[in-house]
Amino acid sequence: MGSTHRTPRSARPNRVTVAVYAADPVLRIGVVQQLRQRPEVDLVDEADADRAQVSLVVVDSVDDDVAALLNRLRHNNATHTGLVVGTLGAGGLQRVIECGVAAVLRRAEADQDQLLHLVQAIANGEGVLPGDLLGKLLTHVGSIQRSALDPGSLSLSTLTTREADMLRLVSEGLDTAEIARKTAYSERTVKNVLHEIITRLQLRNRAHAVGYALRNGLI
């Protein structure tokens, strides 16, 4: 009686079967309790999770472990995946989209109605993205595309959007681990990006890079 699994999908054709994934049990319980109250949703237990129509991944932020889970779910043709996330920047949004996620909801906005809307949109193959992040994503992708189409435009005195974002966080006193959490990249990627900036601009260290960028209006 305590299982979240109810009735086989075939017996409830109008209900959307949903599996909830969360490393933090508190996050999982919060979403499960909201969805359990909706007759449109049929929550499935862990044994049937791979056969759910919708997989909801609930996290504070997107790190390498979350990206690995999203990629695993991406290759499961039985399910479509949505993300309920605490914090997510434009770079993080691009990353989850590359992992096959087309529906994202901020946890702060994840009330019962918004969760139901997210689940139904995912089940129908529709995309759901926060409007402000979508605008930032388009700018972010546009910058990357311009650099790819015109490699000569990336001169020694130019920073990519990702490089500028990371240097701006360095200027705010954040260390490698904090920058990784903020940008949804791995710590190794953060180190590599900052090292590339310092090497390309022939600077001494991160502080020197921040000073250079500020003096030249790059951040």
Is residue 40 located within the same domain as residue 91?
A: yes
Is residue 76 located within the same domain as residue 131?
A: yes
Predicted confidence band of residue 161 (pLDDT cuts 50, 70, 90) = confident
Is residue 171 located within the same domain as residue 81?
A: no
* pLDDT score at 143: 54
Is residue 37 located within the same domain as residue 112?
A: yes
Is residue 26 located within the same domain as residue 125?
A: yes
Q: What is the DSSP letter of 50?
A: G
In the listed set 135, 151, 178, which residue is the last one of a domain according to the structure?
135
How far apart CA 20 and CA 52 sit, in angstroms, is 10
For the ranges 95-99, 168-172, 184-188, which has the lowest average pLDDT? 95-99
Is residue 128 located within the same domain as residue 176?
A: no
Q: Is residue 4 part of a domain?
A: no
Q: Note the pLDDT tens digit of each residue in 57-80.
A: 999 998 889 989 998 998 898 999
Structural domain boundaries enclosing 44: 16-135
Residues in the chain: 219
Q: Note the pLDDT tens digit of each residue in 108-144.
A: 999 999 999 999 999 988 888 877 766 666 565 555 4
Is residue 127 located within the same domain as residue 164?
A: no
Query: Which pTM was predicted?
Result: 0.58
Q: What is the CATH number of the domain that holds 200?
A: 1.10.10.10
Is residue 100 located within the same domain as residue 171?
A: no
* pLDDT score at 138: 58
Q: Is 68 exposed, middle or buried (0-12, 13-18, 19+ CB in 10 A)?
A: exposed
Q: Note the pLDDT tens digit of each residue in 12-35.
A: 457 999 999 998 999 999 999 999
71 and 55 Cβ atoms separated by less than 8 Å: no
Strand partners, 16: 41
Is residue 41 located within the same domain as residue 109?
A: yes
Q: Is residue 106 part of a domain?
A: yes
In the listed set 103, 135, 167, which residue is the last one of a domain according to the structure?
135
Is residue 172 located within the same domain as residue 114?
A: no
* pLDDT score at 82: 94
Question: In total, how many domains does the chain have?
Answer: 2
Q: Is residue 43 part of a domain?
A: yes
* pLDDT score at 153: 43
Q: How many CB atoms lie within 10 A of CB 166?
A: 28
Q: Give the full edge-to-edge strand order of the sheet including 80-85.
A: 41-43, 16-21, 54-59, 80-85, 103-106
Is residue 49 located within the same domain as residue 123?
A: yes
Q: Is residue 153 part of a domain?
A: no
Q: What is the CATH number of the domain that holds 119?
A: 3.40.50.2300
Is residue 169 located within the same domain as residue 128?
A: no
In the listed set 93, 119, 135, which residue is the last one of a domain according to the structure?
135
Q: Is residue 142 part of a domain?
A: no
